[in-house]
Chains A and B, each alone.
Chain A
Amino acid sequence: MAGKPGTTPTTYSPSPTTQKTRRPIFNENDVDWVRPDGRGFHQCRPAFFRTGAVNAASGSAYAEFGNTKVIVSVFGPRESKKAMMYSDIGRLNCSVSHTTFATPVRGQGSEHKDFSSMLHKSLEGAIILETFPKTTVDVFALVLESGGSDLPVVISCASLALADAGILMHDLVASVSLSCLGKNLVIDPILEEESYQDGGLLITCMPSRYEVTQLTVTGEWSTPKINEGMQLCLDACSKLAKIMRSCLKEATSTSQE
């Protein structure tokens, strides 16, 4: 998918820390891992977003981060099912599924059954549910190709799709994950790095309000490592949000012409 030549920033690597309040525990000389795609440890993959991919949906977005390709459609606000009880705030319904060809071995999506509930947790803090009482907003995410860091890409793409659908939100939601491989912290891991990781950290935040909507930590972590990882991720999230905003603005101005 060829995009316009880049006036918009496409990579959201965090900036190197200029004020060193604490010496980082991981110095660059101590290397436990060499990244297969040649990126630096704190370098993220180039991000590509496009809204309006699905005509049938109220809003939709497509995201491509290296080999991870995700498409999200949003339907709503529409009538809740009859069986549901009355609620004076809106409801959010999320569903994440993988295509059968998403992974190298066919049909391996069963270990990601919890993605739907994690997507729900990360988005419900950002949507202003009081504005559409009694109705439901459905978010359907489809992972076309799983190349590592699937859930952060799904979350960021879902928040773009919600903005494209015109659902009132507190802020855009950006999400970045980080892996700990021995002594090194690598950001935006690919599938191989995720399979070798000692620990994983996923942060979802609303950058403009500087609020975190979801934090998931798995594996082995010590407190200084978590602190450093969180700072890296939050910085990358704010850069990613800039890319998302420029994508939305470009879509709005091209649709006006």
Chain B
Amino acid sequence: MEEAAAAAEAVVVTPGEVLGKASQVRAGRGAYVAPHNNLVYASLTGFRRTLSPPPNSPDQRPTVEVTGHKAHGAVPEPGSVVIARVTRVTARVASADIMCVGPKSVREKFTGSIRQQDVRATEIDKVDMHLSFRPGDIIRAVVLSLGDARAYYLSTAKNELGVVSAESTAGETMVPISWTEMQCPLTGQIEQRKVAKVGG
């Protein structure tokens, strides 16, 4: 339920509605500026919110944005952290299905690939892909770029990126013991992975 103060300013706007003049407001998310008449229009259906500008910026126009009651499903953007499941590992590239972008899950999976030089930050030419990932592992990665037609380029070259959860050959979820090794609690077997540093 909306609070009374917020409900007063929560106006529903639809695509194409005028939100203001470009000289007076800046277009935030869900809004755009039409170049031919310098008006700011909404491009989403949602609630119109006005954000005041930061006090020390040269541009003192408030930002108007439209927060969707339903924004479109998550799409991987360069720089976003994603959760993916590894599907195939070869000598140079590991393919993964991106399942979550940030905190939101995607409706239908996107394909990502991690190249040999993007697995870790040090000694990148001595990386063995089979000792870093196995098919079925859940990894946390960051999107480097849109990649090519087939896949987004992902990178795990940071301490907090890498394998988050993996199953051992015996079928149990493994426990990480160092940044390169995980151990199966049932059999005691140690398997090599590029492990993500989770927690503080």
- Chain A positions near chain B (C-beta within 8 angstroms): 58-59, 75-80, 82, 84-86, 88, 128, 132-135, 163-172, 206-209, 241, 244-245, 248-249, 252-253, 255-257
Contacts and interface: CB of A to CB of B under 8 A. Distances in A.
Interface string B65-86: 0001111110100000000000
B12 interface: yes
B107 interface: yes
Contact of B43 (A84, A128, A255): A128
A166 B68 contact: yes
Interface string B149-188: 1100000000000000000000000000000000000000
Given A79-B108, A252-B69, A256-B2, A168 B150 contact: no
8 contacts: A78-B107, A79-B111, A86-B148, A163-B14, A172-B14, A249-B12, A256-B69, A257-B1
Contacts of B148: 86
A103 to B, nearest CB: 33
B195 interface: no
A19 B94 CA distance: 69
B34 interface: yes
Contact of B17 (A84, A167, A208, A253): A208
Contacts of A168: 15, 30, 32, 43-44, 72
Interface of B: 1-2, 12, 14-18, 30, 32, 34, 41, 43-47, 68-73, 75, 107-111, 146, 148-150
A59 B71 CA distance: 10
A209 B72 CA distance: 23
Contact of A208 (B18, B69, B75): B18
B25 to A, nearest CB: 17
Interface of B is mostly: loop
Given A59-B70, A76-B73, A168-B32, 11 more contacts: A77-B75, A78-B108, A79-B108, A134-B149, A163-B15, A164-B70, A168-B15, A207-B16, A208-B16, A208-B41, A241-B16
Contacts of A241: 16
A167 B106 CA distance: 15
B27 to A, nearest CB: 12
Contacts of A79: 108-111
B16 A166 contact: no
A75 B106 CA distance: 12
B47 to A, nearest CB: 8
B12 A166 contact: no
Contact of B69 (A84, A85, A255): A255
Contacts of A59: 70
Nearest to A207: B16
Contact of B149 (A84, A165, A169, A206): A84
B70 A206 contact: no
Given A77-B75, A255-B69, A169 B12 contact: no
Q: Which 8 A-B pairs have the closest CB atoms?
A: A171-B16, A208-B16, A166-B72, A86-B149, A168-B43, A169-B15, A249-B12, A245-B14
